[in-house]
Amino acid sequence: MNGAESLVQTLLDSGIDTCFANPGTSEMHFVAALDRIPGMRCVLGLFEGVVTGAADGYARMAGRPAATLLHCGPGLANGLANLHNARRAGVPIVNCVGDQATYHRPLDAPLTADSEGWARGVGWVRTSRRAADVGADAAVAVQAARTGHGQIATLLLPSDTCWDEGGVVAAPLPVPAAGAVAPASVQAIARVLRSGEPAILLLGQAGLRATAIADAHRIAAATGARVSAQMFNTRIERGRGRFAVEKVPYPVDAAMAMLAGVKHAILVGATPPVGFFAYPGKPSTLQPAEAQVHVLARPEQDLAAALADLADALAAPAAKVPTYREAAPARGPVSAESFGQSLAALLPEGAIIADESITFGRSLFPATHGAAPHDWLQVMGGAIGGGMPLATGAAIGAPGRRVVNLQADGSAMYTLQALWTQARERLDVTTVIFNNGKYAILLHELANVGANPGRTAMDMLDIGSPDLDFVKLSNAMGVEAARAENMTEFNDLFAHANRRPGPFLIELMTA
Ligand SMILES: Cc1ncc(C[n+]2csc(CCOP(=O)(O)OP(=O)(O)O)c2C)c(N)n1
């Protein structure tokens, strides 16, 4: 057995059976090993940002890591922005990155780079030294990826460690369970809430699964505290039959208005609320200066248990799930409001929303509290180009569920190749492109930072010259597509897309 074979078998034994890949010469032995060792689903992405973003989406839905296969430092570097997003999402990923052979590296051939340095910025790193170590290194990498709420683990594999004989398969290593929150911490938060002072529970990570949200609402009903998700979230279970949570809004003024008057911000897997950016003359922290920030549970702790324990400590009775008014799809011109209405009415049961809708999508989350039960996934690290890969990986991580990718046009152009993977793998993804022909959010940001734009600045925010034709772009990658200019057209296309198997793209003209 060579090192590459020991790698594939160790990954399989450790529960990794999906690999998003974009290989090169140094990964050829890994690729060849896939034919000799059955069981690994290998999914080709035509750019490394698709590979890493898909691994993020997969992990969010499957609840376990995928592997990625990336080519040398530069292949890893191409995938870094979405690894950054995945790190923020707190998901596990095991990157297998081929590299120069150990004896070739000192010769400084063209693809030689600081691969370890690039990987270190997103998490755990190790370089295998010889074939006999590869299996053991892979088992440790999987353990590292699955420790805490999940992290990015990168294993660098000089090509001779893969082709040399002497590979040894390693047994899976234990993964520590999520830590429990100490009873004293629960009691301390219960005392804060019993004071009756204005409080808000800020939920993140696993605190946004339906049962955890329900317990947060028990606490809210018993104490008068409010409940909200943080600004960006890995996965929120929501929709009809479940409790709704609002989210801290992106615009600083709106976020500060939402948190105005709060005396206690209680973090449950959330990070303290800060502005996405600093703006001249505005504070960086979003809660009032006099508010106290408390931590009930850190993201890697058992958040559902912490909320249940807190609700019990407060003797909070079960809260009643609200009923939502069923909406009919909207007709007439396209607007964020009409789109939200149609989405709420037509979203298929069990759908997974991959949200990179940026400006057009601001109101879509509140508009869909009462849609059929679904999961809502956001791009977590602010690096655009996450949405389409996220949708692709989510479809593989949760087969049988429809993925709806709400996608702004400028961000789509970063990783549009994801469509080709969706067509090749026949994934059930409906992509809705919001074509406004602009970097609209940056127009707002120009005003926010007080910059004085001239012609050149405005040109940098215009992507409508020449116009992008997403129907043609989509067709060229094997995904059927159609354009909608009004809500009736959208409604028909959306219902059609969600009924048929495989991917479909709707280009919605929003400006
Ligand atoms: C990797 C990365 N590059 C650049 C940016 C800066 N950026 C933020 S939003 C944006 C434009 C988004 O445009 P679009 O996706 O069309 O959404 P819209 O603003 O029109 O709603 C850019 C370039 C970023 N956030 N991340």
In tens, the pLDDT along 77-93 reads: 999 999 999 999 999 99
Determine the Cα–Cα distance for residues 201 and 262; give it in Å rounded to an integer: 10
Where is the domain boundary, 313, 344, 368?
313
CA of 373 to the centre of ligand 1 (A): 29
Determine the Cα–Cα distance for residues 164 and 156; give it in Å rounded to an integer: 15
Q: Is 452 part of any domain?
A: yes
Question: What is the model's pLDDT at position 451?
Answer: 85
Q: Is 331 part of any domain?
A: no
- The preferred substitution site among 88, 405, 433, 442 for testing ligand 1, maximizing ligand atoms within 8 Å of CB, is 442
Where is the domain boundary, 108, 134, 163?
163
Instruction: Give the mean pLDDT of the chain.
Output: 97
Domain identity same for 221 and 349: no
Determine the Cα–Cα distance for residues 477 and 27; give it in Å rounded to an integer: 26
Q: Is 176 part of any domain?
A: no
Atom of ligand 1 nearest to the CA of 359: 21
Domains of the chain: total: 3
Domain identity same for 386 and 485: yes
Domain identity same for 353 and 259: no
Q: Is 102 part of any domain?
A: yes
Q: Is 330 part of any domain?
A: no
Domain identity same for 497 and 350: yes
Domain identity same for 350 and 480: yes
- Domain span at 261: 183-313
Question: For 226, phi and psi rounded to 5 degrees?
Answer: -95, 165
Q: Helices 210-223 and 183-194 sit at what angle, rounded to 10 degrees?
A: 40
Q: Is 326 part of any domain?
A: no
- The preferred substitution site among 88, 378, 411, 435 for testing ligand 1, maximizing ligand atoms within 8 Å of CB, is 411
CA of 380 to the centre of ligand 1 (A): 14
Domain identity same for 357 and 497: yes
CATH code at position 286: 3.40.50.1220
Question: What is the model's pLDDT at position 99?
Answer: 97
CATH code at position 418: 3.40.50.970
Is residue 205 within 8 A of residue 306, CB to CB? The reply is: no
Where is the domain boundary, 163, 198, 228?
163
Domain identity same for 439 and 390: yes
Question: What is the model's pLDDT at position 53?
Answer: 99
Residues of the chain with pLDDT under 50: none
Token pair listed for 382 = 């602010």
Question: What is the model's pLDDT at position 388?
Answer: 99
Domain identity same for 426 and 487: yes
Q: Report whether residue 381 contacts ligand 1, using a CB cutoff of 6 Å.
A: no
Q: Is 414 part of any domain?
A: yes
CA of 411 to the centre of ligand 1 (A): 6
Q: Is 324 part of any domain?
A: no
Domain identity same for 153 and 190: no
Token pair listed for 101 = 């052979």
The predicted-structure confidence for 189-229, as pLDDT tens digits, reads as follows 999 999 999 999 999 999 999 999 999 999 999 999 999 99
Domain identity same for 342 and 469: yes
Q: Report whether residue 14 contacts ligand 1, using a CB cutoff of 6 Å.
A: no
Question: Which alpha helices (DSSP H) does 195-248 contain, by range?
Answer: 210-223
Domain identity same for 28 and 158: yes
CA of 365 to the centre of ligand 1 (A): 19
Domain identity same for 496 and 347: yes
